[in-house]
Amino acid sequence: MDLGLRGRVALVTGASSGLGEAVAYALAREGATLAVAARRTALLDAVAQRARSEGAGDARAFALDLRDGASIAALLAAVRAQLGDPAILVVNGGGPQPGTLAELTLADWDDAYRLLLRGAIELVRGVLPAMQAARWGRIVALTSTSVKQPIANIALSNVFRTGLVAALKSLSNEVARDGITVNSIATGRVRTERLRQLYRDDAHMNDAARSEVPIGRIATPHEFAPLVAFLCGEPAAYVTGQTIAIDGGLTRGVFG
């Protein structure tokens, strides 16, 4: 299926590894022009190089700290100058400090707010005007199944990722007639550094997947990326305002 992305500029954050990296390669294979951004810039050049080899019209690496408004503004200015206005934004980033509501400090809450909610909203606000002028745009946020079913010991993720999904649902109604779709992905157990951090090591991670996930295993980032790429494409023009779980059946709700 041709997703109609050849030549469109796609900005993917948190692209130095894991889900963001896999999504970048999926978009590259569709011929998109890629801006890959993350804090760990040492890893990004290799991601950009591989994206070009996989079919990207161009791919360049950019530094980004989602907690820092000045970093977000600098990123958007640099992408516009080097590649053009993003027509696609995939919002992705690391997870906040684990812990229960009682354990976490107010400083932890402030940090997570900037990382998971404010930073994402700043990015979205930054790309919207050009999308509205072009009458075409795709925004996809990579969140967590915690937005559908809270997860123990990650109160910050439960709260702020759900807040982001609510904000994007509101936005989806506001910009639908501008040709812009806005969707969220509720990710389940995917083999990433973040999941290792939460489960301590691969053995605990795999044991948890066997007991919790109906499919009985952890996903790879590359199983996750094709649906994100589809939501960024022309054939998904009638899909907006949705929060789609990719979780192997983990979410127990009827409409999970």
Q: Is residue 64 part of a domain?
A: yes
| 101/62 Cα distance (integer angstroms) | 34
The CATH number for 118's domain is 3.40.50.720
User: Domains in the chain: how many in total?
Assistant: 1
**pLDDT for residue 191:** 67
**pTM value?**
0.94
Q: Is residue 228 part of a domain?
A: yes
| 79/82 Cα distance (integer angstroms) | 5
CB of 33 within 8 A of CB of 56? Answer: yes
| 221/218 Cα distance (integer angstroms) | 10
Q: Is residue 251 part of a domain?
A: no
Q: Is residue 84 part of a domain?
A: yes
**pLDDT for residue 185:** 96
Distances 2 to 70, 81, 84, 103, 232 between C-alpha atoms, Å:
37, 28, 22, 49, 12
**pLDDT for residue 95:** 85
pLDDT tens string for the chain (256 positions)? Answer: 899 999 999 999 999 999 999 999 999 999 999 999 999 888 999 999 999 999 999 999 999 999 999 999 999 999 999 999 999 999 998 888 899 999 999 999 999 999 999 999 999 999 999 999 999 999 999 999 989 999 899 999 999 999 999 999 999 999 999 999 999 999 877 766 665 665 666 666 666 667 788 888 888 888 889 999 999 999 999 999 999 999 888 888 877 6
Q: Is residue 148 part of a domain?
A: yes
Q: Which of 178, 183, 162 is nearest to 241 (CA)?
A: 183
**pLDDT for residue 238:** 98
Q: Is residue 217 part of a domain?
A: yes
Q: Is residue 79 part of a domain?
A: yes
**pLDDT for residue 198:** 59
Q: Is residue 234 part of a domain?
A: yes
Domain carrying residue 87? 9-246
88 token code pair: 């696609």
